Structure 1
Amino acid sequence: MKPAIAPDATSPAEARWVEGELARELLRTQRNTQTVGVLLIPVLLVILWQDVSRVALVAWAAATATVAGVRFAALRQYVRHVARGGPGAQVAFLRRWSLVWPATAVTWGASALLFYERAPVAEQFVCWLVLAGLAMFALITLCGHLQTMRQYLDALALTVIGVMAWRIVGDFGYVPRVQHAWMVILLLIFWQVLRQAGLRQHETLRKNYELQYRNEQLIDSLRRQTTAALDAVEIKNRFLASAAHDIRQPVHALGLYADWLGSEPELVHEIAPKIVESTKAVNALFDSLFDLVRLDSGKIKLNVETLRLDKLLHDLELHYRPLAEAKGLEFRVHAVPGTVTSDPILLQRIAGNLISNAVKYTHAGGVLVAARMTPGGARIEVWDTGVGIAPAHQHEIFREFYKVPGHAGTEDGFGLGLYIVGRLCHILGHPLQLASRPGRGTVFRVLVHPTDPRDAAARATSTVDRLKQGSVEFLEAQVLDDASGAPPPAAASTA
């Protein structure tokens, strides 16, 4: 099992998630911070009521309260419609309402018009503390979104500096005063300190979310690997149980026939065919198991070359025609001349398994094996008039050791044939199509697209990793159900 590796810090998925969580963190705290800001409005009213123009003071309070009301409305909309949304929704909402925060800062910065060089020094000092507190409070609560924080701090500082410049120039006629210069210098220093502190706070918060994202990815990766390991153990247990069950009967029969032949050698002509059949069953199981081991190791050997499709099917006919005729089935081969690029041994294994299944599950009628050259490329078709496969089982049959419940003939199979077919088709790049109607028959179509050796080797290796996440996930994309293509009852007897 490969160790889990944390995703790249610059990956788009991580960047989107982090931006979304930073926006969520900012918006999550804004209701409480806005409440504090609203409560400070009457504080300034009380402090300045006796010393400044009450009309101007009430006008400022009304403007500030109006902007606060807009922020409350935005936050209410956020809680109702966006709070549980994804990262994209969080960022989009913050971008849509981004001007609300600098507007709030402008109204608070405009309060300097009321008290700067107008109120007594003590009241001015308290008002400056309120503005400084708001600026530091904004640094803490808005640092999640760097642009919003900077817009707020810049709007607040520039508004205050503008008010101070207007008062100095307009009311004092360019007469320089040391205290004015020091006030502006201190304000500029304080502004830049807050911007730098906000930047560091933002970077710290961002790194925390990046670490959280990677930890969650690591935990998810470990969870998947643990699940894959448990699934592998379950598959291995199922493999051993099925193999032990399937091999017990022919091996036990071989022992009985051998004892029987030892005690009654004159029955050799009667017993020998039964020994041969039991031996074939054991060999068939071991062939399937060896194929399975090679596939699951990802080290299957490929020998891609150009081959004649009609010759391949006629070679298979020599092996399977006697089996079909022994069951009283008609066996037909219709193969047009043509060449394909594939692995001849693996392609023969695919076609052989499909033909074997067709013969096994057909009890009347026949089997048709066809090779056709179409505009879309060559394809192999195996038609039968057998029991058919219900739609509920048409994906499941490609799982290892799966046997369709109630199908006559499944007791003699190992549930590996179609699983191996699906795996080999995926590796060779030959899409597999299935159409079936229960009680009428089945057709499998293998689209023999040209096989690229390097792509096939890569698929053979990658399939092993994908198999850990689900034994048939990669097959579901390959097997195309086409109910309209189900064969008629006499499909095997009509080419």
Structure 2
Amino acid sequence: MKPDVTPAIATPAETQWVEAELVRSLMRIARNTQAVGVLLIPVFVGVLYDDHEAVALTLWAICALAVAALRFTVIRKYVHEVMAAGSRAHLQFFGRYAALWPVSAFVWGFSTVLFFDRSPLADQFICWLVLAGLAMFSINSLSSHLRTLFLWLDTLAVTSLAVILWRVGVELQFSGPFYHWWIIALVVIFWQVLRQAGLRLHNTHRRNFELQYRNNQLIESLTRQTQAALDAVEIKNRFLASAAHDIRQPVHALSLYADWLGSEPELVHEIAPKIVESTKAVNALFDSLFDLVRLDSGKIKLAIEPVDLAQVLHDIELQYRPLAEAKGLEFRVHVSPGSVLTDGILLRRIVGNLVSNAIKYTQRGGVLLATRQRGAGRVLEVWDTGLGIAAVHQKEIFREFYKVPGHAGTEDGFGLGLYIVARLSTILGHPVTLASRPARGTVFRLTLKPTDAKQAAERATAASTTLQLVSMP
């Protein structure tokens, strides 16, 4: 037994595209079959030429040719103006001119006036064959657009039946031959059979276009995923190159200092601080790598609770003031007392990365770490008087492994600090913005909106899942 498969729900974009393709199919067939309807007009006239008044026959032929000419003009307009356009243009165009098809059906249906019960049975038989052929031909040419097909068939059948019933009931007062009723029955049966056949064929066309659309979407999705995988491979290659380069420098320095200390132990007081600094550099690089791995694997454990901002800034000051003062920079802290609902460890990591960057790229002046009340929330700011960031780089600096070209200090890291800041701030729901002027300094602002624990967990999971899908080879 085959399992039940729930059909995919069509999106508005899919529905519009499919409808437009159905219109395109109808118009394409109409271009190729227009001549057939025109050629049947002289055939029809030739059959009835000796059976009917020339005036009435001529008037009908003129009307039929006029409608055919109008359809030919519309088709030409479609070819030159719409055929290469998008879905919306197709639907709008067809909406304006769709009435031409039922008008054509009315003209052909009204031709029943010329032959029904007014011509020899042989000529009537030929005329009925022509109308039946047109009706069957419409199944192929109009079934792409179901509404147009039904309007065409209904108009043709109702017009023919109205003429027949007028002849039978009004003119003949129901005194005509019995085969008239058989003709009425056959027209009704034939009409309904054609409607059902047209419906089935239309459903086939529609399913084909729906499958085509979904296949195209699948191909585009696979193409995007393939490109994303290639991009991920490129990122990994750049990462390996960057990691090899950035880690090699402090490790190589450690090796030199160790050799130096081994050969001249009396210089321990001079060499030991250099070894400590190199060790700190290696630790900082590995901290960035570990943060990146945790982010990408989705193994971040969130502990959302009220966090005292004064305590956060105090901890950051204890950690980074010595680094700033060692470079001769002033390190100031301005605290607006209060708390925020967030993850204290991740918040410290965000602020620590921002302060570390500020110190790294500031050669003179200082760094200010402050919290301010803004409206109903709080904003945490990190100011520096450093190199600044040109506008062209301000969006790029939040990408992984990105280093601003020509910035002194970019050789001391992977270019992951601000990428980690962006990822963590997104997870916690604390938007981060910046304002900067080259050679004047930079300020990063972290808007401390209360973190919703459930939404933060979902954002962390979604971010890691997306990254894993992108990184699949």
Q: Which residue of structure 2 lines up, in the alignment, with residue 218 of structure 1?
A: 218
Kindly provide the amino acid, as one letter, of the partner of residue 205 in structure 1: H
Q: Which residue of 2 aligns with 1:481?
A: none
Aligned mates of 1:67, 1:465 — CA distance in 2:
60
Q: CA deviation at 1:237?
A: 1.6
Alignment of 1:20-419 (within 5 A): 20-419=20-419
Q: Work out the CA distance in 1 between the residues paired with 2:439 and 2:29.
A: 65
User: Which AA in structure 1 matches 2:408?
Assistant: A
- The number of equivalent residue pairs is 467
Q: 1: CA distance between counterparts of 2:424 and 2:168?
A: 85
8 Å contact kept, 1:224–1:469: no
Distance in 2 (alpha carbons) for counterparts of 1:348 and 1:214? 46
What per-residue deviation string (whole Å, max 9, x for no partner) do you get for residues 277-335 of structure 1?
11101100110000000111122111111011122112211121121122122211111
Does the residue aligned with 1:400 lie in a helix, a strand or coil?
Answer: coil
Contact 2:225 2:470 in 1 (8 A): no
Deviation at 1:470, TM superposition (A): 8.3
Higher alpha-carbon deviation: 118-127 or 100-109: 118-127
The answer to whether the 8 A contact 1:7-1:214 is kept is no
- Tell me if the contact between 1:330 and 1:366 (Cα under 8 Å) persists in the aligned partners: yes
The aligned residue for residue 426 of structure 2 is: 426
Judged with a 3 Å threshold, the aligned counterparts in structure 2 of structure 1 residues 430 and 6 are, in CA distance, closer, same or farther, namely: farther
Q: Deviations over 1:146-181 (max 9, x none)?
A: 111011001001111111122223443311423212
Q: Is residue 362–residue 387 contact of structure 1 (8 Å, CA) maintained in 2?
A: yes
> Does the CA contact (< 8 Å) of 1:109 and 1:159 recur in 2?
yes
3-state SS, counterpart of residue 94 of structure 1: helix
- Matched residues in 2 for 1:438 and 1:24: separation? 56
SS of equivalent residue, structure 1 residue 372 = strand
Residues in 2 aligned to 1:300 and 1:22: alpha-carbon distance in whole angstroms: 50
Bigger CA drift: 171-180 or 404-413?
A: 171-180
Return the alpha-carbon distance in structure 2 between the equivalents of residues 457 and 356 of structure 1. Answer: 27
SS in 1 for 2:300: coil
CA contact (8 A) 1:338 1:373 kept: no
Per-residue deviation at 1:75? 2.6
Whole-angstrom CA distance in 2 between matches of 1:6 and 1:430: 40
Task: Give the AA of the match of 2:79.
Answer: V
CA distance in 2 between counterparts of 1:376 and 1:79 reads 60
Amino acid at match of 2:449: H
Instruction: Please say if residues 403 and 415 of structure 2, whose CA atoms lie closer than 8 Å, have aligned partners that are also in contact.
Output: yes
In structure 1, distance between residues paired with 2:450 and 2:122: 88
Match of 1:447 in 2: 447
Deviations 1:361-381 (A, max 9, x none): 111211111111110411111
**Match of residue 479 from structure 1:** none
Contact 1:228-1:468 within 8 A present in 2 as well: no
Alignment check: 8 A CA contact 1:305 1:341 kept: yes
2:438 maps to 438
Further displaced range: 108-117 or 68-77 = 68-77
Matched residues in 1 for 2:299 and 2:320: separation? 29
Q: Distance in 1 between matches of 2:239 and 2:301?
A: 23
Q: Which residue of 1 aligns with 2:15?
A: 15
Identity across matched positions, percent:
64
Q: Note if contact 1:387-1:407 (Cα within 8 Å) is conserved in structure 2.
A: yes
Structure 2: distance between partners of 1:81 and 1:274: 75
What code does the residue aligned with 2:192 have? Q
Paired AA for residue 168 in structure 2: I
What letter corresponds to residue 230 of structure 1 in structure 2?
L
Partners of 2:227 and 2:126 in 1: CA distance:
62
- Give the TM-score taking structure 1 as reference length: 0.90
1:414 aligns to what SS in structure 2? coil
Instruction: Give the stretch that moved more between structures: 64-73 or 332-341.
Output: 64-73
Superposed CA offset, 1:68-105 (max 9, x none): 23323333333333323333332333233232211110
Contact kept in structure 1, 2:296 and 2:468, CA below 8 Å: no
- Give the TM-score, by structure 2 length: 0.94
Q: Which amino acid aligns with 2:435?
A: A
- How far did 1:469 drift? 8.8
> How big is the shift at 1:37?
1.2
CA shift at 1:136, angstroms?
A: 0.9
> What is the identity, as a one-letter code, of the residue corresponding to 1:83?
M
1:97 corresponds to which letter in structure 2?
Y
**C-alpha separation between the residues in 1 aligned to 2:79 and 2:430?**
52
Conservation of the 8 A alpha-carbon contact between 2:31 and 2:75: yes
Closer, same or farther in 2 for the Cα pair 1:323/1:453, shift >3 Å? same
Question: Alpha carbons of 1:381 and 1:6: their partners in 2 closer, same or farther (altered >3 Å)?
Answer: farther
Give, in whole Å, the separation in 1 of the partners of 2:357 and 2:7: 45
3-state SS, counterpart of residue 33 of structure 2 = helix
The Cα offsets for residues 191-215 of structure 1, whole Å up to 9 and x where unpaired, read as 1110110011011111111111221
Give the conservation status (yes or no) of the 8 Å contact 1:6–1:217. Answer: no
- The CA distance in 2 between the partners of 1:35 and 1:438, in whole Å, is 72
SS in 2 for 1:141: helix
> Which blocks of at least 5 consecutive residues in structure 1 are unaligned?
472-495
Q: State the secondary structure of the residue aligned to 1:245.
A: helix
Question: For residues 230 and 297 of structure 1, what CA distance do their matches in structure 2 show?
Answer: 20
Identify the range of structure 1 (459-468 vs 272-281) with the bigger mean alpha-carbon deviation: 459-468
SS in 2 for 1:445: strand
Contact 2:427 2:459 in 1 (8 A): yes
Matches of 2:46 and 2:465, distance apart in 1: 71
